[in-house]
Amino acid sequence: MHNRGLIILALSALACIVCFMTLGLRGNLAFVLELRLVRLAALVEVGIAIAISTVVFQTVTANRILTPSIMGIDALYVFGQILLVFLFGGLAYATLDARLKFFGEIVLLMTMACGLILPMLRARWDTGLMLLCGVVVGVLFRSLHSLLARLIDPNDYAVVQTGSFVNFNDVETDLVLIASLLTAAALAGIWRARHILDIVALGRDAAIGLGIEWRKTQIACLLLVCALVAVSTTLVGPVAFLGLLLVALSERIVKTRRHAVLIPATALVSIIVLVGGQTLFQHGLGNSSTLGVVIEFAGGVVFLILLWRGSRT
């Protein structure tokens, strides 16, 4: 780790975590700490999942503007949720084994997202077209979602409602452990492949020339991205621009696209933004606004800037 930016990021992230755990401690210490620890784990994991999935997605699609959520992958996931309720009813949905449901959803998401995005990559669409398609896909699934929401019983709808909006205050903690394992495994896999990802970033022809099995790598990366998106969406709900914000910010800080540096940097930035931001809102601003809204606003601005810059070059 010869990058100074990386060291500063690591220290800042650590400071954020310490503040999150210790600020305003009151009452039964053991209880409060345990509660905070679980929430900390969830936030860190969501941050890492979003950050890493965005980095990999951008590398494999060869551009800086698209992220899994802009391509509508999490809209697809949320739609899958309500489809389940529609088909089996709210009671069955609520009583379904959470872990079993979680895995089922991941597998479903992987197949659907690959079926959707791989043909676009094969046809080598440009960014504009992919973006347009992503927006259309996102709108389609969101519309289908609201259609189903109108069709089902209001009580059933209440069951899925919590999963449909981003919420960093109320993280689904019962899946934290299993999601952690999944994220850690994905992270380990991506870390091992960091050099391969550098080559993938050169583009298809150069990568094949250097001995990458392009198709296999592309599919493997997309599957991984889907799994990570499912993890983060399950825990906090769909976030549109967070990934974009995290990656753009990290790239500015470490000034490289080499994955050996960018991956840890993005993970650290995500911890700073989520854990630090959450601490700030809870203790500094007295929960007067929500972190999700602010992040999405900032992320949206970054998205517009990137689009504007890209259109000029």
Partner 1 sequence: MIRIEQVSLQYGAAEILKNVSLTIPKGGVTALIGPNGAGKSSLLSLISRLQSLQAGSITIDDLPVDTTPSREMAKKIAILRQDNQVGSRLTVKELVGFGRFPHNRGHVTQADADMVGEALKLFDLTDLAGRFLETLSGGQRQRALVAMAFCQDTDYLLLDEPLNNLDMYFSRELMRLLRWIADERGKTIVTVLHDINYGGGFSDRIIAMKHGQVVADGPPRELVTTETLRLIYGFDIPVTLIDGQPVALPFTK
Cα dihedral 267, 272, 277, 280, rounded to 10, equals 160
In whole angstroms, the minimum distance from the beta carbon of 305 to partner 1 comes to 17
Instruction: Count residues binding partner 1 (CB under 8 A).
Output: 23
Tell me whether residue 33 or residue 62 sits nearer to partner 1 (CB atom): 62
User: What is each CA distance from 39 to 45, 62, 149, 234, in whole angstroms?
Assistant: 10, 34, 29, 14
Give the footprint of partner 1 on residues 94-123 (CB under 8 A): none
Angstrom distance (rounded) from CA 105 to CA 76: 10
The mark string for 56-75 relative to partner 1 (x by CB under 8 A, - otherwise) is ------xx------------
Q: Which amino acid is at 76?
A: L
For 127, the 3-state DSSP assignment is helix
Q: Which residue has the tokens 């990656």?
A: 247
Tell me whether residue 130 or residue 271 sits nearer to partner 1 (CB atom): 130
Tell me whether residue 63 or residue 290 sits nearer to partner 1 (CB atom): 63
Which residues touch 310 (CB under 8 Å, ≥6 apart)? 64, 65, 127
In whole angstroms, the minimum distance from the beta carbon of 204 to partner 1 comes to 8
Angstrom distance (rounded) from CA 235 to CA 170: 9
Angstrom distance (rounded) from CA 287 to CA 210: 52
Tell me whether residue 91 or residue 188 sits nearer to partner 1 (CB atom): 188
Angstrom distance (rounded) from CA 229 to CA 196: 22
Tell me whether residue 51 or residue 106 sits nearer to partner 1 (CB atom): 51
In whole angstroms, the minimum distance from the beta carbon of 310 to partner 1 comes to 13
The mark string for 226-265 relative to partner 1 (x by CB under 8 A, - otherwise) is ------------------------------xxx-------
Whats the size of the chain, residue-wise?
Answer: 313
The mark string for 195-224 relative to partner 1 (x by CB under 8 A, - otherwise) is xx-xx-xxxxxx-xxxxxxx----------
In whole angstroms, the minimum distance from the beta carbon of 15 to partner 1 comes to 29
Cβ neighbour number for residue 202 with a 10 Å cutoff: 15
Tell me whether residue 150 or residue 192 sits nearer to partner 1 (CB atom): 192
Joined tokens for residue 27 = 């009452």
In whole angstroms, the minimum distance from the beta carbon of 194 to partner 1 comes to 7
Segment holding 204, helix H or strand E: helix 204-209
Tell me whether residue 189 or residue 203 sits nearer to partner 1 (CB atom): 203
DSSP state of 152: S
State which of residues 194, 282, 294, 306 lies at the interface with partner 1 (CB under 8 A).
Answer: 194
- Which residues of this chain interact with partner 1, rule CB under 8 A? 62-63, 194-196, 198-199, 201-206, 208-214, 256-258
